[in-house]
Chains A and B, each alone.
Chain A
Amino acid sequence: MSDPVLQIQNLKKTYAGPSGAVGAVADISLSVAGGEFIAIHGPSGCGKSTLLLASGGLLAPDSGTVSVAGKDLYAMSGDERARHRAARIGFVFQQFHLIPYLDVLDNVVAPTMALPIADGKGKAHELISRFGLDQRIHHVPAALSTGERQRVALARALLHDPPLLLADEPTGNLDEANGEAVLAYLAEFAAAGGAVLLVTHDPKAARHASRTVLMRDGRISKT
């Protein structure tokens, strides 16, 4: 099997709370290789989002390491990490997090602000077609349905052809059909050689994943 795209080792993260430290991630080691679609599920508050943000280089852990495409994220400078993230990691969120004043096309090309690519517009058009959004290309997010918004977010996450997709509850705000469609795209991405880490408390996601992990109280309790 190829080298893992994402490798998490002994990750630990606690938050400072008013009554002492709150443990979010206790001790997690996990690796996701290209072609793998790993779904982590578990109850609310078990530390799923914390794990995901730390995996994406947005949240420094207390201890442990996170490597993406062979590079230790927290051993590099903030700017290097940002560039690495732009090139290697795509994010999808439950709230979509589209930029409200940009139309669909501008939202999809937004990652070129962080890392310019040749013919970003052409690539964006291609992705927009792939997700069936041709008719909505100049609409702002507020004019779109939730399913369409999540597809815009997916297109944006894929603009730089990242080897790793991180998805936090991407189906949480979607109806059955749209949720299924998003999960199907993630599976398709993995089938094409990408690495997917999905966190959700929806056990149904398991059907599309190549592996499911159950998380409880900051730890992996069952694979």
Chain B
Amino acid sequence: MTIWRLILREITHRKIGFALGLLSVCIAVATLAGAMTLLRAHDLRTDQIVAAKEAETQREMAKMEDDYRKIMKDLGFNVLILPKDQNLADLYADDFASKYMPEEYVDRLAKSDIVTIQHLLPSLQQKARWPEQGDRTVIVIGTRGEVPYAQRTAKSPILEAVRPGTIVLGYELHRGAKVKEGDTIALMGRQFKVAKCHGERGNKDDITAWISLREAQEIFRRPGQINGILALECVCAADSLEKVRADIATILPDTQVIEFASQVIARAEARRRAAEAARAAIESEKRQRAKLRSEREAFAAVLVPIALVGCMAWIGLSTFGNVRDRRAEIGVLRALGVRSNQILAVFLGKAAVIGIAGGIAGCAAGFFAGTAWGDVGDIPSLFQPGLVVASVGLAPILALIAAWLPALLASQQDPAIVLREE
């Protein structure tokens, strides 16, 4: 016979008392585990919502950008810097400049401290026949992308450079040649990989092919030369054109400056605004979720301690009752030679059993209740091993604390009092 066996026998004898104790621990631990699981579910749900929102705004942003591009197409202005001797009538008639200037001009501009111009795009443009495509007309634009200003911190370029060996084709060109992205196409004796095929724009872009500046210079035998610098103005107050012209004239005396459509800027601005709107939307969603979380947290912060204290009070009182019911038994155990700390162990052992069993049951119940309410599809991700350890470890400790005083009283009980009562 051991103390342990005595505890188990007594538990099976007084099933209802044990069940009630178990239930109280179970409810308290379930409240704790359920609240923690719910909060975790809340966090996961927040992540899901924010991720979905981000994806959605990205889609919307792409669409908005496109809308802006269409709306802003003819608003605002950019400038085109051309050689001074370029005849503008020829330019408008031929769709490209026929005079050239050194590529070095753009670098000179980039190294200057000019502030009115934001982006510099040098290009070499040529209208030509495309021998490999039945001599059809093509506008070839060689570009090296945006030239960074030496004086300023680098910004993300608004146009990407066309990488050497690749080609970007306007709508009519790739449709006529029946090529798609990734294919190879010959242009004036060179092979290019098609990097991008534009959609229909309804202007000369549809018959334009973009290649790298270096290759365009080689094809047209214009090494080191360009025939235009597109300068994109962001701070586009209507009256600043004269100022821009004057600034450029001082740096590049033998050039002329004309106004050019400003959609690139509009697009960049549209993108920026859309991004800002999206960020704001996500921020507000996050704020709302955080507010909801702190409300739930506050609720749990009240409910969980109440459940724990209630449980401890119940365990303490029921242990008192148990000790009172077993006064004669305690007396006779002492008469049999059982020591007082063994009596203590009888009652603390019972409390520990209730605590461990209630802790495990409560942890499981709380977890499943939490997952049921948590509204998160991925149940395993709600499982928190730390929470299991904490609640299964905490419950017996709290039960032991609650049972301590009555158990101590039982161990101190004078056996003579009950044994003489005959």
Contacts and interface: CB of A to CB of B under 8 A. Distances in A.
B221 interface: no
Interface in B141-193: none
Describe B's contact surface by its main secondary structure: helix
Contact of A83 (B3, B337, B340): B337
A113 B420 contact: no
14 contacts: A53-B416, A53-B420, A58-B416, A58-B419, A78-B339, A85-B336, A93-B419, A93-B422, A97-B331, A100-B13, A101-B14, A102-B6, A113-B1, A113-B3
Nearest to A98: B332
Contact of A120 (B1, B10, B422): B1
Given A97-B328, A99-B329, A101-B10, A114 B337 contact: yes
Interface in A87-125: 87, 89, 91, 93-95, 97-102, 106, 109-115, 120
Interface string B110-139: 000000000000000000000000000000
A112 B338 CA distance: 9
Contact of A113 (B13, B333, B335, B340): B333
Contacts of A82: 334, 337-340
B335 A58 contact: yes
A223 B416 CA distance: 27
Pairs A-B, 5 closest by C-beta atoms: A86-B337, A101-B13, A114-B337, A97-B332, A59-B416
A114 B336 contact: yes
Interface of B: 1-3, 5-6, 9-10, 12-14, 328-329, 331-342, 415-416, 419-420, 422
Contact of A95 (B2, B9, B416, B422): B422
A78 B333 CA distance: 14
A169 B416 contact: no
A172 interface: yes
Given A58-B415, A106-B9, A113 B336 contact: yes
Nearest to B14: A101
Q: How extensive is the interface on chain A, given as a class? A: 35 or more
B336 A111 contact: yes
A93 B336 CA distance: 12
A79 interface: yes
A111 B332 CA distance: 10
Nearest to A54: B416
A56 B335 CA distance: 8
B333 to A, nearest CB: 7
A78, A82, A85: residue with the most chain B Cβ atoms closer than 10 Å: A82
A76 to B, nearest CB: 13
Interface in A41-62: 49-50, 53, 56, 58-59
B174 to A, nearest CB: 92
Contacts of A169: 422
A94 B419 CA distance: 9
B9, B415, B416: residue with the most chain A Cβ atoms closer than 10 Å: B416
A161 to B, nearest CB: 14
A165 to B, nearest CB: 12
A36 interface: no
A160 to B, nearest CB: 8
A148 interface: no
Given A53-B416, A101-B10, A110-B1, A115 B337 contact: yes
Contacts of B331: 97
Contacts of B342: 113-114
B336 A102 contact: no
A111 B328 contact: no
B1 A112 contact: yes
